[in-house]
């Protein structure tokens, strides 16, 4: 039987994958994807816990996250395109103009 812990383990694995992606990747597009993976990892955790407790709040929250993630991707991709047009690159190491 697949129980709550299995879902949570899956969620943790996904989250770790996303985290490693954020830490290791240099391409902004890839970072965006990694963030999406992490958000979805949380979604899985929310839904699983919500199911476990029989409380719909978690599932509602997951919907919110999906919606926000979608809009975030929209804005984020838009910005990326502008960035690419300006600099011709999406590599983070090339984009250090905010250096203090």
Partner 1 sequence: MESLVYVALFAPFVGSLFASLFGMSERQIFVGVVASLLLFISFLASALLAANLYITGDVIHITMMDWISAGDFNVAFGFVVDQISVTMMTVVTLVSTIVHIYAIGYMDHDKSFNRFFSYLSAFVFSMMILVMSDNFLGLFIGWEGVGVCSWLLVGFWYHKPDQDRKDNPSISPSWAANEAFIMNRIADLGMLVGIFILYWNTGSLQYDEVFAKLPELSESVLVGAAIALFIGAMGKSAQFPLHTWLTDAMEGPTPVSALIHAATMVTAGVFLVVRSNPLYSMEEVAGVSMFIASLGTFVAFYAASMALVERDLKRIIAYSTLSQLGYMFAAAGLGAYWIALFHLAAHAFFKALLFLGGGNVMHAMHDELDLFKMGDLRKKMRGTWLYMGFASIALVGLPPLAGFWSKDAIIETAFNEHTYILWIMLVITAGMTAFYSFRQVFLSFHGEDRHTALGFHPHEMYKFVLAAMFPLAVLALITGWFMSSYKEFIYKIGESVQYEMSDHTHHLAIYLALMVIFIVLSSITFAYFKYARTGEKAWKRDEEKEQGFFYKLLINQYYVPKFYEEFITKPYAMISEVFWTKIDLKIVDATVDNIAKFFYATGDKTRSMQTGNLSNYLNWMAVGAMILLGVAAISAMIGLGGIDG
Chain positions contacting partner 1, by CB under 8 A: 19, 22-23, 25-26, 28, 31, 92-93, 95-100
- Integer distance in angstroms from the first to the last C-alpha of the chain? 54
Least distance (Å) between residue 2 CB and partner 1: 26
> 49 vs 90, which CB is nearer to partner 1?
90
> 54 vs 97, which CB is nearer to partner 1?
97
Query: Within 10 Å of residue 17's Cβ, how many Cβ atoms?
Result: 14
> 70 vs 92, which CB is nearer to partner 1?
92
Cα–Cα separations (whole angstroms), residue 1 to 5, 6, 24:
11, 9, 35
Query: Within 10 Å of residue 4's Cβ, how many Cβ atoms?
Result: 13
Least distance (Å) between residue 84 CB and partner 1: 15
């Amino acid at each position: 039987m697949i129980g709550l812990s299995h879902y949570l383990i899956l969620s943790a694995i996904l989250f770790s994958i996303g985290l490693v992606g954020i830490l290791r990747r240099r391409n902004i597009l890839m970072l965006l994807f990694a963030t999406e993976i992490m958000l979805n990892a949380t979604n899985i955790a929310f839904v699983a816990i919500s199911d476990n407790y029989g409380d719909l709040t978690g599932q509602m929250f997951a919907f919110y996250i999906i919606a926000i993630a979608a809009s975030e991707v929209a804005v984020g991709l838009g910005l990326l395109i502008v960035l690419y047009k300006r600099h011709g690159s999406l590599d983070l190491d090339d984009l250090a103009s905010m250096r203090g």
